[in-house]
Amino acid sequence: MNKIAVVALGGNALLRGNEAGTIEQQEKNTYDTCEKLVPLLERGFNLVITHGNGPQVGNILLRNEAGYKEYKIPKMPLDICVADSQGGIGYMIERQMRNVLSKTSLKRNVITIITQVLVDVKDPAFDNPTKPIGRFYLKEEADLLAKANNWVFKEDPRKRGWRKVVASPKPIDIINKKVIRDLVKRGNIVIAAGGGGIPIYKHENKYLEAIEAVVDKDLASSLLAREINADIFYIITDVPKVYLNFNKPNQFRLDKITLEQARKYFEQGEFPTGSMGPKIQAAVEFVEATGKEAVITNEEEIQLDNCGTRIVK
């Protein structure tokens, strides 16, 4: 039986930071990213692909506001916007993966699952929004938007600008995890948990209701990887490895670290909440629960056997 790899694509895998975000740009980036996943298939892995949606869902929210302001089109809540982005991005990845596979001898079905994720309505994250969505703004632009829409903005840790932030509760359960597991075990490439999934919570009578939040894509991907018994968990970001003292003259790359080292660096504040922090946390949770390996790298190097920063027990 083939091993299962869960690959969590960052938003930059689909939309580069310096791009306008046209569909042509996103489709080209998606195709290039899918090409780089082929070596994993050739090495015998079955794939579950998850993905970010920060820039895309942010743009959907802006269209929400513009449509209401100009034409009085009713605004859609954040859960519907996340679902919209899941469908659109999933479709893009699915089609481009099929295009990539058509140039190889590999025969795989590809399917996208719109994924809901259970959260706790009492999660303290609702009192402290931290998850960035949408584009970067100048401070003056962010202040105006915050005042006009009652949004919360925070400065990017890498000083690229200001982004809207929303609550990011911890994922508790992945709805349809059994379906995802069964499909991937049969060799299908499954695209799931897009944007961290659509956050929902359960009432005492088991009624499911949406809630205004965004689940962190890496934490949801880690939970999914654990629940489907994945053999390795890849987190794809825009740097080839994790660094200590990142963006400082004395920055130092990490090739292979233990759980204990990862926890220590995290507690020392090496990994900011809005940047590498959730990725380290997601990797730690996967390795801790399974004893298997998690890898943080970029899409250029995922093809290599010993790529990225590898976190082991």
Would you name the residues annotated as active-site residues? 11-12, 131, 217, 279
Taking each helix axis as running N to C, give the angle between helix 277-290 and helix 259-267, from 0 to 180 degrees, rounded to the nearest 10: 150
Burial of 128 (0-12, 13-18, 19+ CB in 10 A): exposed
3 state SS of 229:
coil
CB within 8 A of 151, min separation 6: which ones? Answer: 145, 164
Per the CB < 8 A criterion, the answer to whether 123 and 212 are in contact is no
Tokens 């993905």 belong to which residue? 51
How many Å apart are CA 74 and CA 77, to the nearest integer? 10
* DSSP summary character for residue 297: E
- Residue by residue, DSSP assigns 114-156 as --EEE--TT-GGGGS--EEEEEEE-HHHHHHHHHHHT-EEEE-
How many Å apart are CA 220 and CA 140, to the nearest integer? 33
Per the CB < 8 A criterion, the answer to whether 239 and 287 are in contact is no
Residue 277 identity (one-letter amino acid): G
- Residue by residue, DSSP assigns 30-83 as HHHHHHHHHHHHHTTEEEEEEE--HHHHHHHHHHHHHHHHHH-PPPPPHHHHHH
Label the pairing between strands 252-254 and 242-244.
Answer: antiparallel
